[in-house]
Structure 1
Amino acid sequence: MERRPAPSRGTAVRATRQGDAVSAALAETDAFTSAQDLHARLRAQGAAVGLTTVYRHLQVLADRGEVDMIRRDDGETVYRRCASDDHHHHLVCRSCGRTVEIAGPEIEAWTAKVANAEGFVDVVHTVEIYGTCTICAARPAT
């Protein structure tokens, strides 16, 4: 049985059918997705995966850097498998959840300048920009 490292926990987790199902379901969307929504999607597809298992596998994927996770305004953590392994940021549609990865070199320069001015080193950051995508903006208000 294949063992996969989970670096931040210092342990390995077994490669399982459920873990592969979670990973595959997450890869099917370009939007950030909650564990509950992912669980519901898997159950609708007939996968016998518990909600705790979904949470555990999402955490392992996040620990490995295979998915990005953000906390929405309502406090819920959502996950997304990103196309880029390079450092990037996100534009997120408030209506449909569609997400676009952006490089943002200006953000990197500004972050370095601010950190340097305050004497900070070894700085990390995330930036998510929320708005409404053109598709959702074109829909009539309900």
Structure 2
Amino acid sequence: MTTPSPQSSPARGTRVRGTRQAEALVSVLGNLTGFHSAQDIHAELRRRGERVGLTTVYRHLQVLSQGDTVDAIRDENGETLYRRCNTGGHHHHVTCRACGRSVEVEGTAVERWAERVAAEAGFVDVDHTVEIFGRCPDCA
């Protein structure tokens, strides 16, 4: 998940126009559990009778994941997966590589580390992505 640091301004275009397609996408995400690929979300939209192209789904998901509406993570194969954000605000996920269960966690130490490392390299207005994978208690 990539999100702006507290010092940065909100990203432009982090809202999707209130189109029927965007509303249907957010509705589908609200009804799904766990993380899903854009292709899976597109298939669910089509199953519900929505006429929306896969490119439109990708575009909306990209914009929504820059704000607090949608969480995005990359799985171990590098595919981006999406779900409706449960908490809003900046957070990270620990995801089970066996069953896909995901838990939202805060990482205050990670936040400080990312800012410090970037500052030492002369960078400002820093974003970061942290993805943690393991095996949940049920799969361990």
The TM-score, its normalising length taken from structure 1, stands at 0.73
Q: CA deviation at 1:37?
A: 0.7
Cα distance in 2 for residues equivalent to 1:28 and 1:13: 19
Amino acid in the other structure paired with 2:40: D
The total of aligned residue pairs comes to: 130
Q: CA deviation at 1:136?
A: 3.1
Q: CA deviation at 1:13?
A: 5.5
Q: Are the counterparts in 1 of residues 91 and 106 from structure 2 also a CA contact under 8 Å?
A: yes
CA 1:24/1:92 → structure 2, altered by over 3 Å: closer, same or farther?
same
Report 1 or 2 for greater relative contact order, CA contacts < 8 Å, sequence distance ≥ 6.
2
CA 1:136/1:45 → structure 2, altered by over 3 Å: closer, same or farther?
farther
Larger radius of gyration: 1
Q: Are the counterparts in 2 of residues 30 and 99 from structure 1 also a CA contact under 8 Å?
A: no
- Structure having the larger proportion of residues in helix: 1
Uncovered stretches (5+) of structure 1, i.e. residues with no partner: 1-6, 138-142
1:19 aligns with 2:38: no
Cα deviation, 1:93-132, whole Å, max 9, x if unaligned, reads 2223221111111212322333344343322212110112
Cα distance in 2 for residues equivalent to 1:68 and 1:123: 19
Amino acid in the other structure paired with 1:112: E
Q: Are the counterparts in 1 of residues 35 and 82 from structure 2 also a CA contact under 8 Å?
A: yes
Decide which of 68, 83, 88 is 2:86's aligned counterpart: 83
Uncovered stretches (5+) of structure 2, i.e. residues with no partner: 1-10
1:125 aligns with 2:133: no
The TM-score, its normalising length taken from structure 2, stands at 0.73
CA 1:132/1:15 → structure 2, altered by over 3 Å: closer, same or farther?
same
Decide which of 51, 61, 66 is 2:64's aligned counterpart: 61
RMSD over equivalenced CA pairs, Å: 2.6
Identical columns (%)? 55
Provide the residue aligned with 1:8 in structure 2: 12
